[in-house]
Amino acid sequence: MNIKEAVKIVRKHLIYQVGIAYHQEPPVSIYNINPDENLLFSYNLFGPPMVGGSNYIAVSKAAGEVRVLGRLGD
C-alpha cells in the first residue's frame, strides 16, 4: 500500500465519523443567517454531541457555497 491509497482509506473512515444535524431555524446565538437563503447544519466529530457550544456550517441555497461558522453557543 502506498500513501495515496492509505489517504483514501483514512478519508473513507473519517466520513462515517462526522455527525451532521440540519436546523430549520438558527439558534439565537447565530447572526447573519437567513434560513430562506441558507441551509444550516451543526456537526460533531468522533462521537455524540457534547454539552456546550456546537460547530455550525451553512450552505448557500443559491450558490452552493459553504460557510464555516465555527463553534457557537453555551
8 in a structural domain: no
3 in a structural domain: no
Question: Sign of the C-alpha dihedral, residues 15, 19, 24, 27?
Answer: negative
Give the residue among 62, 17, 61, 19 at the shortest CA–CA distance from 42: 19
Q: What is the pTM of this model?
A: 0.75
Give the residue among 27, 51, 62, 31 at the shortest CA–CA distance from 41: 27
pLDDT in tens, 20-50: 999 988 777 677 788 899 999 999 888 776 6
1 in a structural domain: no
Q: Residue 1 pLDDT more than 80?
A: yes
Range of the domain at 53: 18-72
Return the percentage of the chain with pLDDT > 70, whole number: 89
How many domains are there within the chain? 1
